[in-house]
């Protein structure tokens, strides 16, 4: 079983993070302590900022944590509103509006219509 290039990068970074303080400690104890304390200090600063910083700094710290853990950004409010608007248009097309060419109106199951109604309902996000 071979590792993918991204896994190799992770393993290399992990090995460097473990070997560097050990090598520094072998050279001189103070160098080993500095190589161990520096990453821990950075992690503590980012976590403290994420939890106790201003709203702007907290958002940036959480974005940095998502970047480090390789997770995608959550959908923005604009995308949510756009999805709700699309659901409203689709619901109108499937339930109320007659077709322009006079053809039959497509019928949808009641569960599908209920799901569309729930998606089209405006939601408050705690902002005004």
Residue 128 lies in a domain: no
Q: Whole-angstrom Cα distance, residue 35 to residue 29?
A: 10
Domain check: are 53 and 81 in the same one?
A: no
pLDDT at 40: 87
Q: Whole-angstrom Cα distance, residue 19 to residue 99?
A: 70
pLDDT at 101: 62
Which positions ≥6 away from 21 have C-beta within 8 Å? 32, 35, 36
Residue 126 lies in a domain: no
65: left (phi over 0), alpha (psi -120 to 50) or beta: alpha
Domain check: are 86 and 48 in the same one?
A: no
3-state class of 74 per DSSP? coil
Domain check: are 47 and 81 in the same one?
A: no
pLDDT at 44: 92
Domain check: are 38 and 15 in the same one?
A: yes
Give the count of domains, the chain: 2
Q: Whole-angstrom Cα distance, residue 100 to residue 39?
A: 65
Domain check: are 64 and 90 in the same one?
A: no
Q: Residue 36 in contact with residue 22, Cβ under 8 Å?
A: no
pLDDT digits (tens, 9 = 90+) for 49-95: 989 989 899 889 988 888 888 788 776 666 666 766 777 767 666 66
pLDDT at 48: 93
pLDDT at 107: 57
Single residue among 40, 68, 96 that ends a domain in this structure: 68
pLDDT at 25: 85
Start-to-end Cα distance in the chain = 54
- pLDDT bin (cut points 50, 70, 90) of residue 98 is low
Q: Whole-angstrom Cα distance, residue 90 to residue 96?
A: 10
Single residue among 68, 88, 111 that ends a domain in this structure: 68
Asked which of 35-39, 66-70, 106-110 is least confident by mean pLDDT, the reply is 106-110
Q: Please determine, for residue 96, whether its predicted confidence score (pLDDT) is greater than 90.
A: no
Q: Whole-number mean pLDDT of the chain?
A: 76
Domain around 40: 5-68
pTM value > 0.75: no
């Amino acid at each position: 079983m071979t590792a993918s290039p991204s896994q190799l990068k992770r393993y290399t970074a992990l090995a460097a993070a473990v070997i560097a303080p050990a090598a520094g400690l072998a050279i001189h104890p103070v160098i080993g302590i500095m190589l161990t304390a520096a990453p821990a200090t950075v992690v503590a600063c980012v976590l403290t900022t994420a939890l106790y910083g201003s709203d702007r700094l907290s958002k940036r710290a959480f974005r940095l944590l998502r970047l480090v853990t390789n997770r995608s950004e959550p959908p923005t409010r604009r995308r949510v509103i756009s999805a709700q608007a699309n659901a409203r248009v689709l619901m109108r097309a499937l339930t109320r509006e007659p077709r322009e060419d006079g053809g039959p109106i497509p019928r949808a199951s009641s569960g599908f219509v209920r799901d569309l109604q729930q998606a089209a309902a405006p939601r408050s996000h705690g902002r005004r």
